[in-house]
């Protein structure tokens, strides 16, 4: 396995993990709370 193949594999696994987290978490309540702290129009 070359270094580039290893890097692509690593990034793909990380991307899959982040996609799974994004699917599992209901972001709406977190977004509402964060908008109270950090305004959208910064």
Apex 12 CA angle, 6 and 13, nearest 5? 90
Sorted by where each begins, the domain ranges of the chain are 3-37
| CA 32/CA 3 separation, integer angstroms | 42
| CA 21/CA 19 separation, integer angstroms | 5
State the DSSP code for 39: -
State the DSSP code for 6: H
Sign of CA dihedral 30, 34, 14, 18: positive
* pLDDT attached to residue 10: 75
Q: pLDDT tens for residues 1-42?
A: 677 777 777 778 877 888 889 999 999 999 888 888 877 665
pTM reported for the whole predicted model: 0.52
């Amino acid at each position: 396995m070359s270094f580039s193949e290893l890097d692509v594999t690593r990034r793909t696994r990380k991307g899959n993990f982040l996609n799974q987290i994004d699917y599992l978490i209901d972001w709406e309540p977190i977004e509402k709370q964060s908008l109270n702290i950090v305004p959208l129009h910064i």
